[in-house]
Amino acid sequence: MASIDRPGPVLCFGEMLLRLSATGRGLLLQEERLDARFGGAEANVAVALAKLGRPAAMATILPDNAIGDAAIDALRRHGVIIDGIARRDGRMGLYFLTPGAGVRASAIFYDRVDSVFARARPGDFDWPALLAGVGRLHLSGITPALGPDSAELALEAVRAARAAGVPISFDGNYRARLWEAWDSDPRAILTELIRHADLLFGNHRDIALLLGRAFHGDGPERRREAALAAFAAFPNLRRIASTARHIEDADRHRLTARIDTPDAAFETAEIEVAGIIDRIGTGDAFAAGVLHSLADGEAAAAETGLALAALKHSIPGDFSLSGPRELAAFREGGRDVKR
């Protein structure tokens, strides 16, 4: 199946966040310092694509203050196009992270209520201008989970992209705590969003939520069953990309990746990721790897996505900073010091 992307940058739409985390691998506020970094699902994808040499742009709203300036500087430093970023008075959303270690899992809690992005309303973005010359729109299920206005904003974005003939990729990124904070109907909202997408990043659990029936992820045949049900329910979908993660402890995971189409599926061999530094953002790295290599076919896209996700586990912060050289070295299998 050939790529259906158009020429032009991938436009990533969503909220940027300031991440505050414990230093090292300690508990939050165990030490007197916090490590501050920028992130957010869609910004993570934009940065990862830019580091791979793929043009990527960000559409969001940032506070008109020094924190917003620093967020823009972070994107610009990594090569992301920032023309679609608006500025307003207000606050930036935060999230706090206690990194996992050994048998202790990582823990996250959000402080993003009333951020400048969460206060955005339908009509605040000039979608015809933002989508002009764009090759693909990428967004995730985090934006509609923020509240009713954010849900309408996400719907506005995908409808505008569909009307303009811009392909849409959607990452399920289901965040139960965000949806449960308001009188939401995630199944109805996500169904409408995915109806417009040609590429879904999601697994059997995401599909179960959308279709209201249980699917099991044990083995390729059962994952294929879920994918086929999604293709039947969403005729515009052309590909579903997913990973399967087996967690031994916070420091050692096993990963596979797969891409399903209506007619076929490709699944990678399982790899072990040990000595994990930071798991956050690995799914976004996978999405970026898939988007980067989609024109080369499903096998190449799945392999690149898996490689970029594996490498991201070794990088502190939300952003994947691996480029073509790091990908090539990973594929060659060299693990010794490069001199």
For strand 81-88 and strand 93-98, is the pairing parallel, antiparallel, or unpaired?
unpaired
Q: How far apart are alpha carbons 26 and 126 in whole angstroms?
A: 43
To the query of whether residue 284 is one of the catalytic residues in this protein, the response is yes
Amino acid at 92: M
- Spatial neighbors of 321 by CB under 8 A, at least 6 apart, are 47, 51, 78, 315
CB of 20 closer than 8 Å to CB of 67 = no
Q: What is the separation of C-alpha 131 from the centre of its chain, rounded to a whole number of angstroms?
A: 19
| Catalytic entry in 73, 284, 318, 336 | 284
b or e along 283-298 (b: 16 or more beta carbons within 10 Å of the residue's beta carbon)? bbbbbbbbbbbbeeeb
Q: What are phi and psi of 228, to 5 degrees?
A: -65, -35
Residue from 195, 144, 199 nearest 170 by CA: 199
The residue assigned the tokens 């904070």 is 181
Amino acid at 91: R
* 69 HSE (CA, 13 A, CB side): 2
**184 SS3 class:** coil
Q: How far apart are alpha carbons 93 and 101 in whole angstroms?
A: 26
Q: How far apart are alpha carbons 196 and 194 in whole angstroms?
A: 5
Q: Which residues belong to the active site?
A: 284
